[in-house]
Amino acid sequence: MGWFQKEIRLRPRQRGVHLITKEIAGQIPEMRNFSVGIAHIFIKHSSASLSVNENADPDVRKDMEAYLNRMVPENEPYYAHIHEGSDDMPAHIKATLVGCSVTIPISHGRFNLGTWQGIYLCEHRNRGGARRLVATIQGEIKGEK
């Protein structure tokens, strides 16, 4: 049984829901060393979130963003935390609703996602900048038993 942990950096993205599976996997080539395991991916920000969902039709990501914006609108008069822009407090609420981490099985050195699944970065700020993730893998290393 082995452990591996690495902090990775995602390139900056505009506000919206973005498919990042390949970007994450490309930054943790060490995952190939695991025959079976679990990858836990945690985002180190309070105004963006992670999710697993549809990886084929980009309209799903557009619809997710539209729904989140309707569910948690900007400029509500009851927001007290307004000093960092009209998108900041809604970003914190959305991040709480969607979540700060995903856990994905690893099989044969790769994420074992469903055919139509991918990892989403939900960027809730207009200018969120580069985002940092911590990838932690626990599992059986190839060749060890």
Q: Are the C-beta atoms of 27 and 93 separated by less than 8 Å? A: no
Query: Does pTM top 0.85 for this prediction?
Result: yes
Q: What are the structural domain ranges in the chain?
A: 2-141
Domain 2-141 is classified in which CATH homologous superfamily? Answer: YjbQ-like (2.60.120.460)
Going through the chain in order, the beta strands assigned E by DSSP cover 2-10, 14-19, 34-43, 48-54, 101-107, 110-111, 117-127, 131-141
Residue pLDDT tens, the chain, 145 long: 899 999 999 999 999 999 999 999 999 999 999 999 999 999 999 999 999 999 999 999 999 999 999 999 999 999 999 999 999 999 999 999 999 999 999 999 999 999 999 999 999 999 999 999 999 999 999 988 6
